[in-house]
A and B are shown apart, each in its own frame.
Chain A
């Protein structure tokens, strides 16, 4: 027998999956903008805006469910994590937009692309796909891959930032610095998302918090350049 809360949960699930698909598309387009020099900023802007609206919709829906149904157990964890996850999606959209702005600002920078940047971009695209799938299937095993990817991204990020100071191509250096920053943040949010999914399935809270380098005091020392 359908419970009162079930239609709302289904709606939540539907909107979230739409957001997920849009996020994947968004990031792909954004990455292509600098890898291939395509002008995708209008499309990305539209997608990011849609995602943002859906984020508000999700927030409203969540608080409505809390008000009406006082959910517990699985329902409760799903709803609680949905705030984190939908926020992550909205961030993906935002950073995707920021990335296209880099291209708009600096012009076609496809010649600045080096192997590291290429690899990191590919990783990020994969990560997003993994995260969205992980949520759709509530599969926590994918979290392992996501965390590995994020560690990789962090490593490259730190290596490249150090090297950029010695670069003599100011335009490429600056562009790359910005891009790396955005990509690294996307990676972080993907990990937070996987934590939230973990919470839904196992009830464990924020296991990755301590391990995220950008969030610990130690790492801020490491990030000091120079």
Chain B
């Protein structure tokens, strides 16, 4: 290929570059506008909730039982308590089962059994939550004869564990094989390698998965209708119906009174804040060592000017 040809080709590229830069700018504009479009509804929801709900917040609101309908008095104390209890219980059931399934699928998941488990897991994830609520109703409420917190926790755990299983499996799979090999080469037993090395490395992804599922079940209403039913009293024991924030929001929103509406917004605000708090709290506690180390070092530098 002679020099002239090359020169010719070089001029070709120059033209292309100009056009490509232009296209690049256009695409960037499109992408940014899409992001804006996506954020706006999200932002406006948050703004609405804050705007309307802030007015309802007070100590009384947060701690008292609901007052008589339409009176505008009372609060959502039991609902807050109920949400926390039922989410906590569901997590205690759903997270271990989900994590263990995830470990099984990732570490031992090359056989036919694992393939079917994975398939059913994915299908399960897509189930409408109301179906799971009905299932819990049939299995627990009808059998025991009354609505209860057990039933609610069970239903929510059913929603929770497929998500946890999937995200755990994916997080574990993302840990490079070489760390497992290094662990095995040190003469460590397989489960030690899995738990102490692989799990530790996958922690961030797994925690995200768990938090996602917690956020999901925090807002589920339909399954709760058929299992814990709702109530106006504080928690007494596990065998009785219980209130929860989604239920309370639903009930309040159906009432024609302004005060009820305002309380509804307040409850929604509280729910969002609870989910947010859980997220931040768990992340701070469970962050992987190097992030904590770096964070700590940064603080030390800022305070003492020490390297």
Do any CB atoms of chain A lie under 8 A from CB atoms of chain B in the complex? Answer: no
A interface residue numbers (CB < 8 A to B)? none
